[in-house]
Chains A and B, each alone.
Chain A
Amino acid sequence: MITRKRKHIEPLYDVVIAGGGPAGLAAALGAREKGAEKILIVDREAEAGGILWQCIHSGFGLHHFKEELTGPEYAQRYLEQVLEKDIHVLTDTFVADIDRDKRLKLMTGQDGIQVIEAKSMIMAMGARERTRGAIRIPGGRPAGVMTAGLAQKLVNMHGLLPGRKVAILGSGDIGLIMARRLTLEGVEVMGVFEIMPHANGLSRNVVQCLHDFDIPLHLSTTVAQIHGRDRVEMVSVAPVDENFQPIREKAWDVECDTLLLSIGLIPENELSRQLNLRMDPVTGGPIVTSGMETSMDGVFAGGNVVHIHDLVDFVSQESLLAGRGAGEYVTGDHPPVDNIRLSPGENVAYCVPHTISTDRPHTVYFRVRKPLEKCSIRFGDVLEKKLSYVFPAEMVTLKVQPKFLQKFHGDALSVDVVPRD
């Protein structure tokens, strides 16, 4: 049990972090490491830790801690470090407004409305789930259509069930995890329906959450109609054609009282938009340097706010960099500026960070557009790495050393994933 004495909110901080999930916690540690003194994490929930608290399954921390943890265990490890380092964690508080003078208006449950200033800010707001409206499923508007994350909260945080018979649209990781979780709770899971020809979650989740429980995964299939007036009574599902349109003649009905949606995450960038940060239309997040600095001086970003991650370990890793960047910014200890722009090439949807520099090692994250077996990552003409397969659902990470980058003479380096001949 961590005890924590209440601290007063100060008018000025070195670093203010919007969001106390895994990104915000790691960022705070990075800022402290680089010498920032007054650090504030703002989180709207009663506890910092973000979505990890409701992710009671294991599989977290394999990369970072080299052991398998549950979500709450992972959160706890970070939270303890943060509190040991005397970082102010202000929970039950919402950043209502933010401006380019780095002033933040906070709505706090305990201290009312507070306006504070920051020398540096870190965007760590995470992501939200895509909803029904985003994909416009035809049909009625009954109760019982909800995101997989909300269902996870009902089950794991509040001991309730979202329904008795559940269909799941989308094979994102939360949907897969919930298929298993609900089955274990005695709920009948009628199937997972995925519009793409491949699953959208991690392969390990497809195996451990669906195959092991005999839950059918219907690929290239979508929900074509929701039936029910007060509560979901049935959904019609149908295979899709090459334009992802349901083939209605081949539709069949699935009886259920609940439809869970696991159709993707959207970076939560309301605050970034208030600051008018330059955004990448592919990731939905701000454009960042190798030090995770956004287009605005002294404003950093990390985690799902920048691009959607599959694994929390990488959220922590990336956000630690954002925190270090913010720490260096306030102590005036800037690293050299980036001198190479990364340009997504063949079968690459995006790269993060958007720029890197030749003087230090970097980890580059990217996603492919299409699955490919036996392929190579080409990093301009300076580096080639062989991979046995790539999937859009699994983020690719590539560590690149200065010795390769120094061979590159140009300003835009293309990242391609190509078949190996």
Chain B
Amino acid sequence: MQYDVSIIGGGVIGCAIARELARFRLRVILLEKECEVGFGTSKSNSGIIHAGHHSSTGMLKGNLEWVGNQKWDTLCEQLGFGFERIGELTIAFTEDQRKTLSHLLKQGGEKGVPGLEIWEPERIRAEEPALTHDILAALYAPTAGVVNPYEACFALIESARQNGVEIAVDFPVESLSRDDDGWIVRGPNREIASRFVINAAGIFADRVAEMAGVGTFRIHPRKGEEYLLDKRLKGLVKKIIFPVPTPTSKGILVIPTFDGTLMVGPTAVETEDREDITTSLAGSDEVFASVQNVVPGISERDCIAEFAGLRAVADGDDFIIGTTPARGFINVAGIQSPGLTAAPAIAEMVADILADEGLRLDEDDQFDPAIPLPVRFATLPVQEQIRLAREDKRYGHIVCRCEHVSEKETVDSIHRGAHTLDGIKFRTRAGMGRCQGGFCTWRCMELLAQELDVPITDITKRGGGSWVAIPREDGGGS
């Protein structure tokens, strides 16, 4: 059987493309090397939907940023992941930096980004009293938002799957070849035939392009470390705070995540190792030193977790989206910041490219854009909680005490695709709070074993060799 399109890579870009193509009467499969989608770069994304004025229109990413930005409200309505336009401030400490703000304001105006304003210190202090008083001016952008990037991936792929897209996980692409009919994509124990191949392989996109015989660019992984702070600081800062950007990075930010906890970072360091998601002392020092200049009330003592991800930066620093000399092989590569923001626009662009290349896009009138919204029990009014817990006792049974996640929500997350501890964590927040899984790890393991009907020693943190516990020598084990 031949697919019309195979998408290599289940990051937010691959997921968005899968979901976009699900609108049409096509046979589509998405191939992901990890055990769940969103487990690579997307999981570690800062989760910012950029306001739209950051990148210049001279670049592909500059245009897609603003077009993508405007599509998130509809997506969120249909798919129910965490997203809110909380606005951002880019802050200037010097007159030179103030000039950059004016430039950004002009750039945004030309693109049509609404609501941009330069704020003077008085306004800044009134709106964000925790910021240092040394700030000279700030550019306010109300169109900026925050999203839980992993939730977005899971929701996009659930919607795609619901509308007929197939997903193959644990499928690292090993080779590609072309014959008259199309492409053969080979993984460890399966091969997929498809007319078109979309290369959305992120950090590995250059290697996949090479496999297709069109290795014309290189990915230079740029590592970013992020530090998540205790809920205690919830509300200290209300908008995303950006320093004035440099050529390689948007700088160290203060990000009130969708869930309200603050996150600080990311660093920006080039690395050769494509598996290197380690955090470092230097990174943590840089982040906290930099953040304390902006918000003196933040201290490294408040850190509850840290992680790192790799940005897929391509030569030339822009997105590489388009056809290649290899017929039917389409690159969607070099998707670094503002890639998450641009993702829905990139997905539409890819559909257009496929149409130009001769793929018939017939709208599927069965397409259902919405997925069932997950219940966030802790956020419901008490009367609603009482009603739900009467209907299903599992709502009354706590699994994660830090983030107040019930057994029912955990079991639901498993039925919607989570089959690892991280899969549960990124869907429900169980294990994401201040005790970092000390309490809920065992409960989640039990529920995974029960719902997936596997031995408890088969449960992993995130697939592969990430086992959690082993049987005793004497074969014990409950």
Q: CB distance B442 to A136 under 8 Å?
A: no
Q: CB distance B279 to A139 under 8 Å?
A: yes
- What residues of chain B lie closer than 8 Å to A139, measured between beta carbons? 278-279
Q: CB distance B461 to A143 under 8 Å?
A: yes
From the candidates A109, A115, A131, A186, name the one contacting B393 in the complex (CB within 8 A). Answer: A109
13 extra interface residue pairs, beta carbon distance < 8 Å, beyond A131-B436, A143-B462: A94-B398, A115-B382, A129-B438, A133-B228, A133-B306, A136-B227, A140-B278, A158-B478, A160-B469, A161-B469, A229-B275, A230-B466, A273-B232
- Say yes or no: A143-B281 contact (C-beta < 8 A), given A113-B385, A161-B470: no
Q: Closest residue of chain A to B228, judged by CB? A: A133
Q: CB distance B470 to A231 under 8 Å?
A: no
A307 to B306, CA, bound (A): 27
Q: CB distance A112 to B386 under 8 Å?
A: yes
From the candidates B393, B404, B436, name the one contacting A133 in the complex (CB within 8 A). Answer: B436
- What residues of chain B lie closer than 8 Å to A107, measured between beta carbons? 389, 395-398, 404, 406
Size category of the binding interface on chain A: 35 or more
A185 contacts partner chain B, Cβ-Cβ < 8 Å:
yes
A115 to chain B, nearest CB (A): 7
Q: CB distance A186 to B396 under 8 Å?
A: no
Q: CB distance A138 to B278 under 8 Å?
A: yes
Q: CB distance A231 to B465 under 8 Å?
A: yes
- What residues of chain A lie closer than 8 Å to B303, measured between beta carbons? 133-134, 136
- What residues of chain A lie closer than 8 Å to B460, measured between beta carbons? 143, 230
B99 contacts partner chain A, Cβ-Cβ < 8 Å:
no
B294 to chain A, nearest CB (A): 20
- Say yes or no: A112-B390 contact (C-beta < 8 A), given A96-B378, A105-B382: yes
A229 to B442, CA, bound (A): 22
A136 to B299, CA, bound (A): 13
A361 contacts partner chain B, Cβ-Cβ < 8 Å:
no
Size category of the binding interface on chain B: 35 or more
A85 contacts partner chain B, Cβ-Cβ < 8 Å:
no
Q: CB distance B307 to A153 under 8 Å?
A: no
Q: CB distance B398 to A138 under 8 Å?
A: no
B:451-478 near A, CB below 8 Å: 456-457, 460-473, 476-478
A94 to B390, CA, bound (A): 16
From the candidates A128, A141, A144, A160, name the one contacting B471 in the complex (CB within 8 A). Answer: A160
- What residues of chain B lie closer than 8 Å to A92, measured between beta carbons? 397
A94 to B461, CA, bound (A): 26
A219 to chain B, nearest CB (A): 21
B224 to chain A, nearest CB (A): 14
Q: CB distance B442 to A158 under 8 Å?
A: yes
Q: CB distance A160 to B470 under 8 Å?
A: yes
A:209-230 near B, CB below 8 Å: 225-226, 229-230
B60 to chain A, nearest CB (A): 32
A164 to B398, CA, bound (A): 31
- What residues of chain B lie closer than 8 Å to A185, measured between beta carbons? 472-473
A382 contacts partner chain B, Cβ-Cβ < 8 Å:
no
Interface 0/1 of A97-114, CB less than 8 Å to B: 000000001011111110
- What residues of chain B lie closer than 8 Å to A153, measured between beta carbons? 442
A154 to B278, CA, bound (A): 27
B293 to chain A, nearest CB (A): 19
A109 to B468, CA, bound (A): 27
Q: CB distance B457 to A160 under 8 Å?
A: yes
Q: CB distance B442 to A154 under 8 Å?
A: yes
The interface centre, meaning the residue of B393, B441, B468 with most chain A CB atoms within 10 A of its CB, is B468
Q: Closest residue of chain A to B471, judged by CB? A: A160
B355 contacts partner chain A, Cβ-Cβ < 8 Å:
no
- Say yes or no: A128-B472 contact (C-beta < 8 A), given A111-B396, A138-B279, A160-B457: no
Interface 0/1 of A112-154, CB less than 8 Å to B: 1101000000000000110111101011111110110110011
- What residues of chain B lie closer than 8 Å to A273, measured between beta carbons? 232
From the candidates B390, B467, B469, name the one contacting A154 in the complex (CB within 8 A). Answer: B469
- What residues of chain B lie closer than 8 Å to A140, measured between beta carbons? 277-278
Pairs A-B, 3 closest by C-beta atoms: A112-B389, A159-B476, A230-B465
From the candidates A138, A141, A162, name the one contacting B284 in the complex (CB within 8 A). Answer: A138
B186 contacts partner chain A, Cβ-Cβ < 8 Å:
no
A361 to B438, CA, bound (A): 39
Q: What are 22 A-B pairs with beta-carbon distances under 8 A?
A: A44-B401, A107-B389, A107-B398, A128-B439, A131-B434, A133-B306, A136-B303, A138-B284, A140-B278, A141-B307, A143-B461, A143-B462, A149-B438, A150-B441, A155-B472, A160-B457, A160-B470, A160-B471, A160-B476, A161-B469, A226-B278, A231-B465
A141 to B465, CA, bound (A): 13
Q: CB distance A112 to B467 under 8 Å?
A: no
Q: CB distance A109 to B397 under 8 Å?
A: yes
B:261-300 near A, CB below 8 Å: 275, 277-281, 283-284, 300
Interface 0/1 of B164-181, CB less than 8 Å to A: 000000000000000000
B473 to chain A, nearest CB (A): 5
A60 to B227, CA, bound (A): 39
Q: Closest residue of chain A to B284, judged by CB? A: A136
B304 contacts partner chain A, Cβ-Cβ < 8 Å:
yes
Interface 0/1 of B430-444, CB less than 8 Å to A: 000011111101100
Interface 0/1 of B349-389, CB less than 8 Å to A: 00000000000000000000000000000100010011001
A153 to B439, CA, bound (A): 10
Q: CB distance A109 to B472 under 8 Å?
A: no
Q: CB distance B456 to A160 under 8 Å?
A: yes
A136 to B435, CA, bound (A): 14
Q: CB distance B284 to A143 under 8 Å?
A: no
A163 contacts partner chain B, Cβ-Cβ < 8 Å:
yes
- What residues of chain A lie closer than 8 Å to B456, measured between beta carbons? 158, 160
Q: Closest residue of chain B to A163, judged by CB? A: B470
- What residues of chain A lie closer than 8 Å to B464, measured between beta carbons? 229-230
Q: CB distance B304 to A134 under 8 Å?
A: yes
B75 contacts partner chain A, Cβ-Cβ < 8 Å:
no
Q: CB distance A113 to B382 under 8 Å?
A: yes
A:268-305 near B, CB below 8 Å: 273
Interface 0/1 of A11-46, CB less than 8 Å to B: 000000000000000000000000000000000100
- What residues of chain B lie closer than 8 Å to A111, measured between beta carbons? 396
A:156-191 near B, CB below 8 Å: 157-164, 185-186
Q: CB distance B476 to A231 under 8 Å?
A: no
B447 contacts partner chain A, Cβ-Cβ < 8 Å:
no
B305 contacts partner chain A, Cβ-Cβ < 8 Å:
yes
B182 to chain A, nearest CB (A): 34
From the candidates B279, B385, B476, name the one contacting A136 in the complex (CB within 8 A). Answer: B279
A96 to B401, CA, bound (A): 8
Interface 0/1 of A244-268, CB less than 8 Å to B: 0000000000000000000000000
- What residues of chain A lie closer than 8 Å to B472, measured between beta carbons? 155, 159-161, 185
